[in-house]
């Protein structure tokens, strides 16, 4: 199969096309013929070597954390999926460096899979898993947002922020977010009640007594300063210091846990129109395509998700 790999850590020129064997599946896995994948900041951070202290990968490494596609093979212990099912997932790729989704096929464990709703395109489905599940787990599971809560979501125009705003609004919260002025109308149309131009205003000048803060930019001090005493903060970009946790014990960090059941719930919201998938741009599964996609992501100015069409 065709895959885009890296054979060393470094810049985008490390991304190369390579022929690899189609993965062999375990008894609890399915083989997915990938139709689309997407780019997340973790992709280029991994490419640059920022994750090498966490994961002892051997080269070549196939990056990519999202997929949508069609099942072509099913392990003997798989109970709820069959050949021909259209699915999407955030697979496990941590055991070694060959399980990423910049490829034509991937092996996925059954519990990470969700059926793709028929009215959601493969491109849109591929944009959901990592960013959408991260937003879901923080807003629903960690912050436990409920109707009437006041929630700040940092960097609302990013891949995670866009999902988080919509999920929080679906739950009935009042949602504030930070963004540049050019994205204010866009985020208001997605459901944000208040958009703070971070170029012009400090958060503390505009907000106070908030129930929850979702930090995606590693600005914990600003987030903690606007919380109620009973409020909660979750960061996916940093780690609270001991002093910050002493002052606000509810301040925690979070790392996504792949979960097919939650992904299916999120897919239902997308299918029902409660949550919109915003695609910034699309690129092909080629060396030039992946290099351009990584460069686009590294600008930190993509509005929504960057999608890779595999076919």
- Could you write out the three-class secondary structure of the chain? CEEEEECCCCCHHHEEEEECCCCCCCCCEEEEEEEEEEECHHHHHHHCCCCCCCCCCCCCEECCCCEEEEEEEECCCCCCCCCCCEEEECCCCCCCCCCCCCECEEEEEHHHEEECCCCCCHHHHHCCHHHHHHHHHHHHHHCCCCCCCEEEECCCCCHHHHHHHHHHHHCCCEEEEEECHHHHHHHHHHCCCEEEECCCCCHHHHCCCEEEEEECCCCHHHHHHCEEEEEEEEECCCCCCHHHHHHCCCCEECCCCCCHHHHHHHHHHHHCCCCCCCEEEEEECCHHHHHHHHHHHHCCCCCCEEEEECC
Mean pLDDT of 249-278: 96
pTM of the model: 0.96
Q: What is the dihedral of CA 29, 59, 102, 104, to 10 degrees?
A: -60
Q: What is the average pLDDT across 165-184?
A: 97
Confidence of residue 56 (pLDDT cuts 50, 70, 90): confident
pLDDT for the residue 52 = 86
Paired tokens of 11:
């810049």
Would strands 305-309 and 279-284 be described as parallel, antiparallel, or unpaired? parallel
Question: What pLDDT, on a 0 to 100 scale, did the predictor assign at position 198?
Answer: 87
pLDDT of amino acid 94: 65
47 Cβ contact partners less than 8 Å away, ≥ 6 residues apart: 6, 9, 10, 12, 14, 15, 63, 294
Cβ-based neighbour number of residue 200 at 10 Å: 9
Q: pLDDT tens digits for 186-218?
A: 999 999 999 999 888 889 989 999 999 999 999
pLDDT of 33 above 80: yes
CB of 296 within 8 A of CB of 306? Answer: yes
Average pLDDT over residues 225-243: 94
Confidence of residue 55 (pLDDT cuts 50, 70, 90): confident
Give the pLDDT of residue 165: 98
Whole-number pLDDT of residue 120: 98
For the stretch 66-86, pLDDT in tens is 999 999 999 999 999 999 999
pLDDT reading at 232 higher than 70: yes
Can you give the pLDDT at residue 53?
84
Mean model confidence pLDDT for the chain: 95
The phi, psi pair for 21, rounded to 5°, reads -70, 145
User: Could you tell me if 28 and 285 are in contact, meaning their C-beta atoms sit under 8 angstroms apart?
Assistant: no
User: What pLDDT, in 10s, does the model give residues 81-121?
Assistant: 999 999 999 998 766 677 899 999 999 999 999 999 999 99
């Amino acid at each position: 199969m065709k895959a885009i790999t890296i054979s060393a850590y470094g810049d985008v020129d490390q991304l190369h096309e390579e022929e690899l064997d189609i993965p062999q599946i375990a008894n609890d896995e399915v083989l997915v013929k990938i139709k689309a994948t997407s780019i997340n900041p973790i992709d280029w951070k991994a490419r640059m070597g920022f994750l090498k202290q966490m994961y002892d990968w051997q080269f070549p490494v196939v990056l990519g954390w999202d997929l949508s596609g069609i099942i072509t093979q099913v392990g003997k212990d798989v109970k709820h999926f069959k050949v021909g099912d259209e699915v999407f997932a955030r697979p496990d790729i941590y055991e070694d460096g060959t399980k990423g989704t910049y490829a034509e096929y991937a092996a996925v464990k059954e519990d990470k899979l969700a059926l793709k709703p028929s009215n959601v395109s493969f491109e849109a489905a591929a944009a959901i898993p990592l960013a959408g599940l991260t937003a879901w787990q923080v807003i629903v599971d960690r912050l436990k947002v409920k109707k009437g809560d006041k929630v700040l979501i940092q960097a609302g125009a990013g891949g995670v922020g866009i999902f988080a705003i919509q999920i929080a609004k679906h739950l009935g919260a009042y949602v504030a977010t930070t963004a540049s002025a050019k994205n204010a109308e866009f985020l208001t149309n997605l459901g944000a009640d208040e958009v703070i131009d971070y170029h012009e205003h400090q958060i503390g000048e505009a907000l106070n007594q908030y129930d929850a803060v979702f930090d995606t930019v590693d600005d914990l001090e600003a987030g903690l300063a606007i919380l109620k005493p009973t409020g909660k903060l979750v960061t996916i970009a940093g780690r609270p210091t001991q002093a910050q946790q002493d002052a606000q014990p509810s301040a925690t960090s979070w790392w996504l846990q792949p979960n097919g059941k939650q992904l299916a719930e999120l897919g239902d919201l997308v299918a029902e129109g409660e949550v919109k998938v915003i695609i910034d741009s699309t690129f092909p599964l080629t060396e030039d395509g992946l290099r351009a996609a990584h460069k686009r992501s590294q600008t930190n100015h993509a509005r929504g998700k960057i999608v890779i069409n595999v076919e």
